[in-house]
Amino acid sequence: MTAVLEGRNLSRAFGGFKALDDVSISVERGQIRGLIGPNGAGKSTLIDVLSGRAQNWSGRIFLGEEEITGLKPQQRRHRGLARSFQRTNIFPAITVRTQLQVAARALGTSGLAEVIDALALGDLLDRPAQEISYGDQRRLDLALALVGRPQLLLLDEPAAGLTVEESLKLADILKDLVHRWDVTVLIVEHDMQVIFSICDHITVLHLGRILAEGKPEDIKRHPDVIAAYLGSEAP
């Protein structure tokens, strides 16, 4: 299998606290990779470093064959690396239609009709984003990441704040789109139902280091993961 995304020996510290400590991760093409761990494990920092939101202090990042270390977020986006955010990150006063148009002008309209349809945004197009519900805003955030059919999608807690029903629906949508478009996904999520229902590979972070990696069934039974994070064997 070819690695779409590779982070080699990534480190990042905040003051004296090492949020990432020599982390290496390789995400293979077509994979839905889960990234889990307790609060403060370094999951969001890793996503931020990989997407260019934060700079790594050491280490290198590759998107396919190309090194993207030091590239700006917009340069990474044009190379096919997209992301969504832990907190809804949209354009509040602008209509759903206009913000998707603005994104499509930069990235192309390929698959946009499918995204609008799959994420049920069709009826919301003429409403300012600040006037739609939180769940709709989460889906819009995801839609902005999906514009232009990225090859790699980094999702930072896409189900945060959603009901169980909404989370599972979002998981189904993601799984469907990802397989149809052959998109590779790295997803941070605290909802284990979502993680174990869509991921085919999971990486566990703990205190800025990789604690375990493997298939979901192996992670569920991994003694270190159970001790540090899951608490008991996951469902």
- Contact status: 78 vs another protein (CB under 8 A): yes
Distance CA 122, CA 134 (A): 16
Q: Tell me: does residue 164 bind another protein (CB under 8 A).
A: no
Strand partners, 36: 204
> Which residues, in sequence order, are bridge partners of residue 210?
205
Phi, psi (5° rounding) for residue 126?
-95, 15
Which residue shows structure tokens 């009901």?
163
Q: Is 119 in the site for another protein (CB under 8 A)?
A: no
Q: Which of 101, 111, 93 is nearest to 148 (CA)?
A: 111
Instruction: Please report whether residue 144 would count as binding another protein according to CB under 8 A.
Output: yes
Q: Is 74 in the site for another protein (CB under 8 A)?
A: yes
Closest distance to another protein from the beta carbon of 56 (Å): 18
Report if residue 123 touches another protein, rule: CB under 8 A.
no
The strand pairing partners of 81, in sequence order, are 152
Does residue 70 belong to the site contacting another protein (CB under 8 A)? no
Among 38, 73, 135, 161, binds another protein (CB under 8 A): 73
Closest to another protein by CB, 116 or 234:
116
Q: Which is nearer to another protein, 78 or 175 (CB)?
A: 78
| Residue 71 engages another protein in binding (rule: CB under 8 A) | no
- Enumerate residues 3-62 that contact another protein by CB under 8 A: 51, 53
Cα 40 from Cα 159, distance rounded (Å): 18
* Residue 168 in the binding site for another protein (CB under 8 A): no
Count of alpha carbons within 13 Å of 225, Cβ hemisphere only? 24
Q: To the nearest whole angstrom, how small is the minimum distance from the Cβ of residue 69 to another protein?
A: 17
Helices (H), the chain: 43-51, 73-78, 96-107, 112-118, 134-146, 164-181, 192-198, 216-221, 223-225
The residues binding another protein (CB under 8 A) are 51, 53, 72-74, 77-78, 82-83, 85, 89-94, 97-107, 109, 112-113, 116, 125-126, 144-145, 147-148
